[in-house]
Amino acid sequence: MTNNQTLKAYLLLLPGLLPIIAFMSLVVGMAVSQSIGFFNFSGADQFSIQSWREILSQDQFWRAFLYSARTATLSAILSVLLAYPIALWLRRPFPGSDLISAMIKAPILVHGLVAAFLFVNFISFQGFLNVALVNLGFTASPMRMQNDTYAIGVVILQVWKNMPFAFLIIVGSVRAIGDDILDAARGLGAGWLARLRRIILPLTLRSLQAALVLIFIVAAGDYSFQAVAGPTSVNSLAQFMVRTQADNGANGWNEAAVVAVMLMGLSLFGSLIVAGLTQLAVRRMRR
Amino acid sequence: MHGITSSRTVWYRRLSIGLALAVFFFALALPFALAVLWSLVDPAHPWAYPAVLPPVLSLRRWLEVWTTSALPQALYNSYMLAACVSIATLLLASSAAYALGRMEFVGKSIIHLLTLVPLIIPNFISAIFFSALLIELDVYSRFLGVLIGHTVSLLPYAIRLMTVSFAMVRQDLIDAARDLGASPLTVFRTAYLPVIKPGLLAALIIVFILSIEEFAISYIVGAPDFITVPTILYSYLGYNFIRPNAAAVSLILVVPNVVLMLIAERLLRSADPAIVTGKG
């Protein structure tokens, strides 16, 4: 590897990499700067933590923060918990396994807003589920399930949409585990639970963590599912950020920037905590 | 004993496949069938509780959505934008994908990670503060704003897909073409192009689909003048929830994209150097 070749590689990387680095640093830089009073659309550009004080003293913000943290954690854990046994089941191909794989991956092709519409349409007051429940005699009249207070609908949608991603990430690492290792463990008397705890889980830990981190970030930044199917009494952080920017005039930019920085913090630290706790749990199980 | 175990395994698999089919039916097939039915509800005969099926089916709702809403304009905007985004993305991604797929250099793994940065920043943060940046720079063209936003946020997909394609090109084929005195253009045409073509087309299609589906940047940066199909769908799902219209727009958004994605998947599956070059 000569210096010349390295320089050539870097020059070739520029057209693709430069727009990404420039765009993302400008966008993140803009959010951070606006949160501390710079690029101010409503007054002089000067350092100020007024917007931070304003946002952090609002109950609505903290409700949105905890709501996003909770739904993201639940969605990530449930998606992985569902995807993992399916990935183990489909580890070795068998007649029909390709069909099942294709069916699991199908939700990836469905747009988030369309998924939210299909779900709302299914559970709405005069939707299929209510008509079926009434006609089968389970309930006397239709129930109100849409925009439920506990955000069960949002979590179902997140799991529905993100479980295929978790499956795709995990199935590769599960398939990569050699039969010889598992056969050796079986030969030494390890039952299926011991093999799962001491071999399969530790060897697939990285992909488990990758799936958890990815889904946590996507779910924490959710806007569409929350806006269409989420509870009306609370906002997600992304929804609160959009609302803050739109409703508060020129000041809205600075306050929305504070929410954006907190959302990025939640995505980064929340996903790292979830991944770290998973590592801890897998290590404990291994003992 | 072995016979009993294997027949039990077969039954267990059949049962599992049946269960998977049932889940698929309730989670995807049935909701889509209901969307099709809702899009066909005749406007003069509403489908209301407790009717299990719509009283009258017709295509009048589709005609109504087409003629009275901004859907034709949104479709034009979405597809025009997606075509521009896929070409721009491919032009920008090609050389980076070549470097990542075929060259060794210091910091390669870090650069791999850097190309994925747009995927880890929540879409609405990129959208809002990109629009703040456009205001700061006095750029008021909605189309240009959305084009730049989509291109940058979809670059990771194009770079990743094309890196894999470039990495699959066989060095012995390139060397053979060079040894026979082929010009750089001929080397590209004979050694590279047959292998990277499926990946290139797949990247083009996937970026095209993702641009049509992108909502955050189109909604925030494009508003209020530049309407796309997802922003129209969102308007039907908001405070004025118009279910039959939402059903029709949902199908318009999903069906062409599913067909395109299936083509992309086929192309990616065919991107095997052994098939293209005839060598194992």
Name all domains of chain B by residue range, CATH numbers in brackets: 70-277 (1.10.3720.10)
Does residue B201 contact residue B267 with C-beta atoms inside 8 Å? yes
Please answer whether residues B257 and A113 qualify as being in contact, where contact means their C-beta atoms are separated by less than 8 angstroms. no
Q: What is the pLDDT of residues B48-79, one digit of tens each?
A: 877 888 999 999 999 999 999 999 999 999 99
Q: For A260, which of B24, B31, B129 is closest by C-beta distance?
A: B129
The whole-model pTM stands at 0.89
Q: Is any Cβ of chain A less than 8 angstroms from the Cβ of B24?
A: yes
pLDDT at B237 over 50: yes
**Best of B94, B117, B119, B129 to disrupt the A interface by mutation (most A CBs within 10 Å)?**
B129
Instruction: Report, as an integer, the average pLDDT of A80-107.
Output: 90
Domain count, chain A: 1
B contact residues 106-125, partner A, Cβ 8 Å cutoff? 106, 111, 114-115, 117-118, 120-125
Structure confidence by residue, pLDDT tens digits, A133-146: 998 999 998 898 98
Residue with token string 């870090």: B110
Q: How confident is the model at residue A84 (pLDDT cuts 50, 70, 90)?
A: very high
Environment class of A75 (CB within 10 Å of its CB; exposed 0-12, middle 13-18, buried 19+): buried
pLDDT over threshold 50, residue B278: no
Does some domain include residue A167? yes
Q: In chain A, what percentage of residues exceed pLDDT 90? A: 69
Q: Which two tokens stand for residue A231?
A: 């509870």
Residue for token pair 């991944």 = A275
A209 pLDDT higher than 90: yes
Residue A76 placed within a domain = yes
Residue A212 is part of a domain; what is its CATH number? 1.10.3720.10
The residues with which A281 forms a beta bridge, in sequence order, are none
* pLDDT at residue number B279: 41
Distance CA(A65)–CA(A75), nearest Å, equals 15
Helix, strand and coil in chain B, % to nearest 5: 75, 0, 20
Residue A11 lies in a domain: no
Distance CA A56, CA B64 (A): 47
d(C-alpha B248, C-alpha B256), whole Å:
13
A260 part of contact set with chain B, CB < 8 Å = yes
The string of pLDDT tens digits covering residues B128-184 is 999 999 999 999 999 999 999 999 999 999 999 999 999 999 899 999 999 999 999
> B57 φ, ψ to 5°?
-105, 140
pLDDT score, position A113: 95
> Per the domain annotation, does A274 fall within a domain?
yes
Residue A148's domain comprises 51-286
Q: Do B117 and A21 touch (CB under 8 A)?
A: yes
Q: Is residue A104 in a domain?
A: yes
What mean pLDDT comes out for the span B90-101? Answer: 96
Any domain includes A33:
no
B183-198 mean pLDDT: 92
Which of A16-20, A106-110, B84-88, B239-243 has the weakest average pLDDT?
Answer: B239-243
Count Cβ–Cβ pairs < 8 Å, chain A vs chain B: 219
